[in-house]
Structure 1
Amino acid sequence: MPELAAHVRDVPVNQIREITEAAWRTPGAIVLSIGEPGFAVPRHILEAGMACLDRDETNYTPNAGIPALRQAFAARFGEHNATPVGAERVYVVDGAQQGLHFAMSLLLSPGDEILIPNPGYPTFAMTSSLLHAVPVRYPLYPEHDFQPRIADIEGLITPRTKVLILNSPSNPLGAVLGEELTRSLVALAVRHDLWIISDECYEAFTYDVPHVSPARFDSDVPGEARVFTSLTLSKTYGLTGLRIGALICPPGLEQRMNNVMEAIVSCVASPSQYAALAALTGPQDYVSHAHAHYRANRDAASAVLESRGIPFLTAQGAFYLWADVSHVSGGDVRSWVRRFLADSGVSFAPGTAFGSIGEGWIRIALCGSQADLVEGLGRLPVRLS
């Protein structure tokens, strides 16, 4: 048979899925390797999606989504970020991953370079490579609390650099970018005439610090604005299977966005859009309950890690803890998590799933039951020194 394209053959295995699927095949495993919210979706959200099907409202929608949902996303973004956004700049997408692909499709030509965090979410590199672009990883070092440094990023910029990806709150780190650093990162992009794609999947979940969107510091003048903001309801409302989110674009790109959206998915399924509308405009009890649960789990997990002498990054956002297991991983944390699952029945995402700086680290998902979380972490080997 003919060969697949080289850029497809070179896409690496997603190590998060690799260990999680192994855990799903392991009877009685405690799965702490994947970020899947565990609460029941509120009834009013489910009923809105079912009502759409009952009405047989199953035809195409506009490329950009139903107007009411675009307005709801714009209203929520403006309220939470003190940054007014017109609904005409909001494009309803088939989950955050499709939103990232959408943005990169608009911005990257073959051979262009895109700056992505190391450690950072794996699909940043996977998606850009599929588009024939070149992912260039900027370092987030433990000694700097895994925060980006302007000089480190600036030193990687070349004439081929087109896009800077930011992710706050961070998956996998739980780190949050502060206001001054965010402002400086936008200024860096302006100096070097770069686009910014801001992945804000976990914007609803920060602890004692605010979420700061780079869009707050972007120009509102067409031709000068440069920030694309990727949002999702997967984490905020536990709608991972409905595949629904939004991409907010700079002003003046509306027609281009329609053209590209048509070529990728045409439009998002109607039931998912109406369910999302109910989520955004209805009661917000789910979000406040989830926030309290994740925070309590973060604190409980932190206490277990401290009791076992295991260093970790204090999570300021998202629902993950980033922990240092280099005392047992032997320089190959990917192999170690597989052995640990086999021996102890607990799965963690290996830090190398997120980049080379993740060697010796694991990502711990905080979104399940606290009892399972504490039990699983209690099986980690004690660090003696």
Structure 2
Amino acid sequence: MPRIAPHALDIPASGIRRIFELAVGQDDVIHLHVGEPGLAVAPHVLAAGARAWEADETRYTANGGLPELRAAIARKLLRDNDLEVDPEQVWVTAGGMQALHQAMSLTLDAGEEVLVPDPGYTNFSMAARHVGAVPVPYRLDPATGFQPDLADLEAAITPRTRVLLVNSPSNPLGVVHPAPVLRDLVEVAARHDLWVISDEVYERFTYGVPHVSAATLDPDGRVLSVFSFSKTYALTGARVGWFVAPLAWAPMLRSAQEAVVSCVNVPAQRAALAALDGDQGVVEDAREHYRATVVAACDLLQREGLRFHRPEGAFYLWVDVSHASGGDVEAWCEEFLRTRRVAVAPGTAFGAHGEGWVRVSLAGARADVLEGLARFPA
């Protein structure tokens, strides 16, 4: 038989998916492992998607997406992110993951390196391997509040480094990078002539601190921004995100989109447009719901004497279970699921420096979150 391409075999398995597969279909398990919003999609968003199906809007759109959706995203970026872009810079993608893959596929050649946060979202390394690139971790240390150490970061740069990936608000940590940190990261990238991929999927969920888009601190146009409707509007299964690229990339991106997805399905794009143009009170309500859950969860962990990182954004809690996990947090998570019926994601799913920690999703029902945390070993 012909061989499989070696880089395909290098794509790491997801430690989150392993727990998901063990927990799926078990009614007595408290599911705190997947970042799936438990809130309902706004009725006007569902109605817009349904109308598109009923009207048989099932043909191709332009590769970059519906013109009215791209224009609405450009208006949103100016209003909410202080980022002025031409609609031709906006490329509607099949979720934030395709946007991330697109950004990597256009900036990384086989064997080249991308700096990824550790702990950081599992799919950063998976996407890099998928395009034949090499993910190189840069540590986010609890001693510094999980903010990057610039000296350590620069020490990881080699002649093969092409991209610095930044994630704020962070999955899994809930860390939000302030403007001075983001400015420093962009300046590091400029010194070494790197692209910056800025994953801002959780931009609308911050608690008491502002979200800053890295591209607003970039005078050179080296920041490629990734966004998604999935978490903000609870549209995870609709698979709509977007990618902001330099205007000069438009001809190249038409070909790249055509080669991968051609375009995102129209009913999903119509739902996304309704989400952007409709009442944003649903987003404010979601943020307040998550904020209250964060407060309640942190209060519970403090009473139990557990070490954790209090999130400033996203909807995850990063909890230290090293007193119980014995140096193998992945095995501990599987045992915790079997014996205590709670599914959480092992920290090592997010990088080697996640050993001894777990990620807890706060996106579900608050009662389930608190019950699951109450079963942690004090």
After superposition, what is the alpha-carbon deviation per residue over 1:205-251, rounded to whole angstroms, capped at 9, x for unaligned?
A: 000000011110122xxxx4111100000000000000001100123
CA distance in 1, matches of 2:298, 2:217: 34
The corresponding residue for 1:293 is 289
The equivalent position to 1:255 in structure 2, one of 245, 251, 258, is 251
Give the match for residue 284 of structure 1: 280
Q: 2:325 aligns with which of 325, 329, 342?
A: 329
Question: Could you tell me how far 1:27 is from its partner in structure 2?
Answer: 3.0
Map of 1:242 onto structure 2: 238
Alpha-carbon distance, 1:80 to partner: 1.2
Residue pairs, 1:150-161, within 5 angstroms: 150-161=150-161
Residue correspondence of structure 1 range 370-381 to structure 2 within 5 A: 370-381=366-377
> 1:147-296 residue pairs with structure 2 within 5 A?
147-219=147-219, 224-296=220-292
Which shows bigger deviation, 171-180 or 183-192? 183-192
1:143 aligns with 2:139: no
TM superposition shift of 1:6: 2.2
**Residue 142 of structure 1, CA deviation:** 1.2
Q: What is the CA–CA distance in structure 2 between the aligned matches of 1:304 and 1:22, rounded to whole Å?
A: 27
Corresponding residue SS for 1:59: coil
Q: 1:44 aligns to what?
A: 44
Deviates more, 1:234-243 or 1:48-57: 48-57
Show the counterpart of 1:24.
24
Q: Deviations over 1:156-211 (max 9, x none)?
A: 11111100000000000000000101111111111111000000010000000000
Moved more, 271-280 or 224-233: 224-233
Please report how far the alpha carbon of residue 56 of structure 1 lies from its aligned counterpart in structure 2 after TM superposition.
Answer: 1.2
Summarize the alignment of residues 83-102 of structure 1 with structure 2, pairs less than 5 Å apart. Answer: 83-102=83-102
How far apart, in 2, do the equivalents of 1:294 and 1:265 lie? 33
Q: How does 1:299-338 map to 2 (within 5 A)?
A: 299-338=295-334
CA distance in 1, matches of 2:294, 2:74: 30
TM-score (norm 1): 0.96
Residue among 354, 360, 366 paired with 2:362: 366
- Taking the aligned partners of 1:321 and 1:38, their CA distance within structure 2 comes to 16
**Secondary structure of 2:162's aligned partner:** strand
1:15 is aligned to 15
Per the alignment, in what secondary structure is the counterpart of residue 107 of structure 1? coil
What is the RMSD of the two structures over their aligned residues, measured on CA atoms?
Answer: 1.0
CA drift at 1:21: 2.3
Question: Partner letter of residue 209 of structure 1?
Answer: V
Instruction: Please point out which of 305, 322, 347 is paired with 1:351.
Output: 347
Could you tell which deviates more after superposition, 170-179 or 15-24?
Answer: 15-24
2:68 corresponding residue in structure 1: 68
C-alpha separation between the residues in 2 aligned to 1:12 and 1:259?
28
What one-letter code is carried by the residue in structure 1 that aligns with 2:373?
L
- Contact preservation (8 Å) 1:81, 1:212: yes
Distance in 2 separating the partners of 1:261 and 1:335: 40
Contact 1:52 1:271 in 2 (8 A): yes
Alpha-carbon separation, structure 2, partners of 1:13 and 1:135 = 14
Amino acid at match of 1:280: L
Superposition deviation, residue 2 in structure 1: 4.0
Give me the whole-angstrom Cα distance separating, in 2, the residues matched to 1:125 and 1:10: 10
Given that 1:26 and 1:345 are in contact with CA atoms closer than 8 Å, whether structure 2 keeps it comes out as no
* Whole-Å separation in 2 of the counterparts to 1:22 and 1:110: 34
Q: Tell me the number of residue pairs that the alignment of Structure 1 and Structure 2 aligns.
A: 378
CA distance in 2, matches of 1:375, 1:127: 34
Measure, in 1, the Cα distance between the counterparts of 2:372 and 2:279. Answer: 34
Deviation at 1:130, TM superposition (A): 1.4
Secondary structure at 2:106's aligned position in 1?
A: helix
Q: Equivalents in 1 of 2:210, 2:364: separation in Å?
A: 24
Distance in 2, Cα, partners of 1:29 & 1:97: 28
Which residues of structure 2 form unaligned runs of 5+? none
Letter in 2 for 1:375: E
Secondary structure in structure 1 of the residue aligned to 2:117: strand
* Aligned equivalent of 1:59: 59
Please give the secondary structure, in 2, of the residue aligned with 1:197: strand
**Structure 1 residues 53-99: Cα deviation after superposition (integer angstroms, max 9, x where no partner):** 12211111000001110011111111111121221110000000000
Q: Residue type of the partner of 2:323? A: H
What are structure 1's unaligned runs of at least 5 residues? none
- By how many angstroms is 1:10 displaced? 2.7
Q: Contact 1:199–1:231 at 8 Å: present in 2 too?
A: yes
Q: Give the structure 2 partner of residue 340 of structure 1.
A: 336
1:133 partner amino acid: A
